[in-house]
Amino acid sequence: MSQRIYEAHPLENRVVIAGYGEPKSWTLDVFEKKLGGYKAARGAVKAEPDSLITTVKDAGLRGLGGAGFPAGVKWSFIPKNPTKPVYLVCNADEGEPGTFKDRQIMEHLPHRLIEGMICAASAIGSKTAYIYVRYELRLARERLEQAIEEAYKAGYLGENIFGSSRSLDITVHPGAGAYICGEETGLIESLEGDRGQPRLKPPFPAISGLFGGPTIVNNVETLAHVPGILNNGPEWFVKLGNGTPRGAGTKLLCVSGDVKRPGFYEIPLGLPLNSLLNDICGGPLEGRKFKACYPGGSSSPLLRADEFDTPMDFDSLAAKKTMMGSGAVIVIDDSRSIPEMAMRTARFYAHESCGQCVPCREGTKWVSKMLKRLTMGQGSFSDIDKIKSACNNMAGKTICVLSDACAMPVVSMLEKFRPEFEAIAKPDDEVQPALPKISGQMAALMSLVRERQTQK
């Protein structure tokens, strides 16, 4: 489980991963004494909840798991006098292809997440919190569990934390390999011990979520930013980014694929994509040129290389009809085939569709099959339009956005790289209708039938 630890690049600004690479940064001792940890939590447990929410709202902290919804606003949706217990859930089901940022926080700075959760729980009045972690992230789970144990022993979790009247219990809850559990209501279903199929909204989780109580679901990175904001004030956080309240703070980006130095980098929001890929990541591999990239995980529509001057912040990316998402930049160079990437993207969503809504369950599979056919040289020109029409019937027609997450990048590839699809497609009359490959039980059954027939 090694990630290369580079020295921070001058263009980077390490805030949420400050202290990364410090020996034993995951222990309470180092976190508290060397990295100044738990200062914000000490104040937060005694502060007025409303003032905490206002501070986070003013800072413009946005949900960094993908949606970008303002965290303080989300917190303020919790009813003032709830009749049921309020829950805080940390979404650590990092599953978006290309993303490996939350892992770094959990493995190296688990106490920063715990501190963030203490602050958030104080703001929303929650006494019970869960961290829903992908089971695959073994080291992250272990380090979190150790950190939670240390925090209980130190009196930072449990009853009367930091000598205040507040109490908070945190439990690490493992997932079991389902991408859809990263969707907040799917996660809640899974946490309740059910199949992780998303719920219809409304009611939103802030009104009725986990075990029927008001619930806030926040991403790891979002929660880990909270202590810094409480310590340094909202203006500090706004200045970290591009200077506007809608582009405040820093963002952990995970760069992977065809670049010289893949890895995760914490950049101020608004840094141009070019600068990230060429200056920080060392540019394309020898003898190759950038072709395109997914700027925010596999769900985000692609940007062509000539669009790499886009600043990496929520609004600038939205203006280019793509999104910040989870901040996973997957870079594709000129040696790669876009239809192949499209097929792998669609296949992922076909595999991960929970099967509740027909447009998604069927659509993701059709699209992935048609793309497979194209990449195998058995697709026709009309398939290209069929894929597009299927995608148009998937987006915005389902309970959650998994269906959109499949349709959006595929449509962007069809629009921006159509000649590549056309180059591998054949005229309609040259394509043989594909015969299904028969194997397994069906083949056994058919041979049995044939045997019987010959016996007669």
Partner 1 sequence: MSYKFSPALEKKFEWLKSRYPVQDAVLIPLLHFVQNEVGYLSLDAMEHVAEKMNISPARVKEVASFYSLFRFEAGGKYVLQVCHNLTCYLKGSDQLLEWMEKNMELDDSGNSKDGVFRVERVECLASCGTAPVIQANNWDYFEELNLEKLQKIVEALRAGKWACASYEDRIQEGSVA
Binding flag, residue 6, partner 1 (CB under 8 A):
no
Q: How far is the CB of 252 from partner 1 (least distance, A)?
A: 12
Closer residue to partner 1 (CB): 44 or 89:
89
Minimum distance from CB of 193 to partner 1 (Å)?
4
* Residue number, 229 or 273, with CB nearest to partner 1: 273
Contacts of 319 (CB under 8 A, 6+ apart): none
Which residue's CB is nearer to partner 1, number 177 or number 396? 177
Interacting positions 145-164 with partner 1 (CB under 8 A): 145
- Give the x-and-dash track for 407-446 against partner 1 (CB under 8 A): --------------------------------xx------
Among 330, 346, 360, 371, binds partner 1 (CB under 8 A): 330
Does residue 353 bind partner 1 (CB under 8 A)? no
The distance of closest approach from Cβ of residue 230 to partner 1 in the complex, given in angstroms and rounded to an integer, is 27
Among 193, 287, 419, 427, binds partner 1 (CB under 8 A): 193
Q: How far is the CB of 142 from partner 1 (least distance, A)?
A: 7
Shortest distance, position 208 Cβ to partner 1, whole Å = 14
Beta carbon nearer to partner 1, 52 or 137: 137
Considering only 74, 103, 112, 372, the residue that binds partner 1 (CB under 8 A) is 103
The CA-atom distances, in angstroms, between 385 and each of 158, 338, 340, 441 are: 58, 16, 17, 35
For residue 203, cis peptide bond before it (omega within 30 degrees of 0): yes
Provide, rounded to whole angstroms, the least separation between the CB of residue 113 and partner 1. 16
Residue 455 binds partner 1, judged by CB under 8 A: no
DSSP bridge pairs for 304: 292
Nearer to partner 1, 76 or 300 (CB): 300
Is 82 one of the binding residues for partner 1 (CB under 8 A)? no
- Rounded to an integer, what distance in angstroms lies between the CA atom of residue 195 and that of residue 189? 6
1 binds partner 1 (CB under 8 A): yes
Residues 288 to 317 in contact with partner 1, rule: CB under 8 A: 294, 298
Answer yes or no whether residue 348 interacts with partner 1 by CB under 8 A: yes
Decide: is 178 part of the binding site for partner 1 (CB under 8 A): yes
The answer to whether residue 95 forms part of the interface with partner 1 (CB under 8 A) is yes
Kindly tell me which of 100 and 314 has the beta carbon lying closer to partner 1: 100
Minimum distance from residue 227 beta carbon to partner 1 (Å): 24
Q: Which of residues 367-396 bind partner 1 (CB under 8 A)?
A: none
Mark the segment that binds partner 1 (CB under 8 A) among 91-99, 266-274, 301-309, 420-428: 91-99
- Distance, C-alpha 303 to centroid of its chain: 19
What tokens were used for 82?
């709830």
Q: Decide if residue 256 touches partner 1 (CB under 8 A).
A: yes
Task: Report the nearest approach of partner 1 to the CB of residue 81 (Å).
Answer: 20
The footprint of partner 1 (CB under 8 A) covers 1-4, 85, 94-100, 103, 128, 134-138, 141-142, 145, 169, 171, 173-179, 190-197, 211, 254-258, 262-264, 294, 298, 328, 330, 332, 336, 340-341, 344-345, 348, 351-352, 354, 439-440
